[in-house]
Amino acid sequence: MLEGSILQKLETAHRYSKRPIQYGVYYKNTLVSLCHALEDHILTDDSTPFVITAFQKGKWYLQEAERYADIAKKSCQVVIMASPDTGFAEHPTSQLPNVNLVPLDPADPVAQEWHLIILSQKYTAMVICQELSEADYGSSGLPASDVERKFYGLWTFEPELVKETAELAISHIGQYNSELAKKLKAHKDTIQPHLVIPENLSAVTSKVVDYLQTGQVNISVSTATRYQALDHNLVSNKIQAFLRMAQILDAANVTNPMAAAEVVVLAETIGQLLDLPAWQMKRLRLAGLLHRIDPLQRAESILSPGTSTRYQEDAPSCPLVPGAQVLRTMPQLRAIAQIITHQTEWWDGTGEPAGLTGDEIPLESRIIALVADFQWRINQKKTSQLNREEIFAQALEECKQLRSHRFDPKLVDTLALLVMGLQQGLDVPLITPKISASMWLLNNKIGSESNISEQMSNYGK
């Protein structure tokens, strides 16, 4: 990272923190898709955000200047940083009262960065990257195609990280225009994105995935190998969009913020006890990370069958659950969507959404349902006077009372083996998923819905 750049300052601030930042490498076309999706969400939303961008060069800004005139109409403040080119300051967009240009010195390390920082009361988002140097490309040399240019950095919806980056950007702007920096800080301080609105986060996530899908279709490079690299970069970022959404929704649940990570550990341990194949373990892990992605899903509707009003009586056998349906936009995640959709089915057929019974329910759905409930019960008892072993025993006993009614009895027996190990000191450490490197979660079987029916028929034989 270039010394003095915003990305480098952010990395330094988090280098030894409990939650170090995870970075990735992004092709230019991936970043274009990400930024256009986030920018277009500004145009369709009513949150009037505070926006800071860095375009590297003025000519890149001029290509987007008309677009930014529309963005300015929907924003409280827009700041554009770039090394100035002819016409940079003369374009009509630059004259708008809530648009401020910051002409960067070409030697400024920020002139090698690509930023889009969005702060609003309803959501936050940012892309912050730095272009790789010629030395970074190594023996392959500089790319022949513009779309193959690479950038190192991250993108996220995480409010605190976006706010921190905005503060770093404003501080850097202060080196050029101290009065503008003061005005920007005052604007920023009026925006306190402390509340995650799931529906809004779902909308922006869907838009990101749609734009990445379009970028994937429009790739045009000379060789199949290079196409595959670009394609994988786009697919990886579509998965990241869903994982980031799920991560923010989890963190927003202050009473149980580690639910996804803990469910994944428990589900994988159950899977190991059942000797599930590696591809199915990957699918189980991804379903566990995303199992709370449906914004309309609430613990009460899961614990009390028949009380939800989300589904009509004439609903199809695999209903369009809002959160899970978003996943179906990616062929690679359709099986995950099916697993999540049916995690609220009950063993005796009284659950939702399709009233499936017994082995008709996907195995992964049954595992996620059981361990999510078990994790929830453990979390509820953490503030009690019970010790570790007593908490596990009591949570297990409550799950046993629902065997053959809500839960698969064989899986309850497997959970009992796991609890026995936990009571005897078995350690199942939490591992935070590396969202910036999510391609490992996919293979040729993970997205196949047909494999689910195969496992349903084979399990228990």
Q: What pLDDT is recorded for position 222?
A: 44
Average pLDDT over residues 277-303: 67
Indicate the pairing of strand 113-119 with strand 50-57.
antiparallel
Nearest residue to 1 (alpha-carbon basis) of 105, 118, 132: 132
52 against 57, higher pLDDT = 52
Average pLDDT over residues 127-137: 86
Phi, psi of 212 (to 5 degrees): -65, -35
The lowest-confidence range among 113-127, 234-248, 347-361, 417-431 is 234-248
Average pLDDT over residues 157-172: 91
For residues 118 and 180, what is the distance between their CA atoms, to the nearest angstrom? 18
Q: What pLDDT is recorded for position 195?
A: 54
pLDDT digits (tens, 9 = 90+) for 370-421: 999 999 998 888 888 888 888 889 999 999 999 999 999 999 999 999 988 8
- pLDDT-derived band at 58 (thresholds 50, 70, 90) equals confident
C-alpha to C-alpha distances, 274 to 17, 203, 419, nearest whole angstrom? 37, 37, 15
Half-sphere exposure of 40 (CA within 13 A, CB side): 15
Q: What is the mean pLDDT of the chain?
A: 77
pLDDT digits (tens, 9 = 90+) for 233-267: 445 555 666 666 666 666 656 677 788 888 988 99
Q: What pLDDT is recorded for position 330?
A: 65
Phi, psi of 102 (to 5 degrees): -125, 100
* Beta-carbon count within 10 A of 121 CB: 16
Average pLDDT over residues 144-170: 85
Q: Where are the domains of the chain?
A: 6-249, 255-458
Res. 189: pLDDT tops 80: yes
What would be the CATH architecture of the domain defined by 255-458? Orthogonal Bundle (1.10)
Indicate the pairing of strand 113-119 with strand 150-156.
unpaired
Instruction: Write down the residue that tokens 């002139």 correspond to.
Output: 111
Share of the chain above pLDDT 70, in %: 70
Q: What pLDDT is recorded for position 294?
A: 58
Res. 124: pLDDT tops 80: yes
Share of the chain above pLDDT 90, in %: 33
Nearest residue to 169 (alpha-carbon basis) of 158, 184, 156, 157: 184
pLDDT digits (tens, 9 = 90+) for 430-457: 555 444 444 333 344 444 444 433 433 3
Average pLDDT over residues 283-302: 63
Q: What pLDDT is recorded for position 198?
A: 53
Q: Mention every residue, 6+ apart, whose C-beta is less than 8 A from residue 186.
A: none
Q: What pLDDT is recorded for position 358?
A: 94
402 against 283, higher pLDDT = 402
Res. 194: pLDDT tops 60: no
Q: What pLDDT is recorded for position 434?
A: 47
C-alpha to C-alpha distances, 297 to 127, 199, 307, 309, nearest whole angstrom? 29, 12, 12, 11
C-alpha to C-alpha distances, 389 to 3, 111, 396, 425, nearest whole angstrom? 51, 57, 11, 9
The segment with the largest mean pLDDT, out of 163-172, 235-244, 275-284, 379-388, is 163-172
Res. 115: pLDDT tops 90: yes
Q: What pLDDT is recorded for position 158?
A: 82
Token digits of residue 20 = 């170090």
345 against 196, higher pLDDT = 345
pTM of the model as a whole: 0.63
- pLDDT-derived band at 143 (thresholds 50, 70, 90) equals confident
Res. 316: pLDDT tops 50: no
For residues 216 and 219, what is the distance between their CA atoms, to the nearest angstrom? 6
- pLDDT-derived band at 315 (thresholds 50, 70, 90) equals very low
Average pLDDT over residues 131-136: 84
Amino acid at 331: P
Q: What pLDDT is recorded for position 46?
A: 83
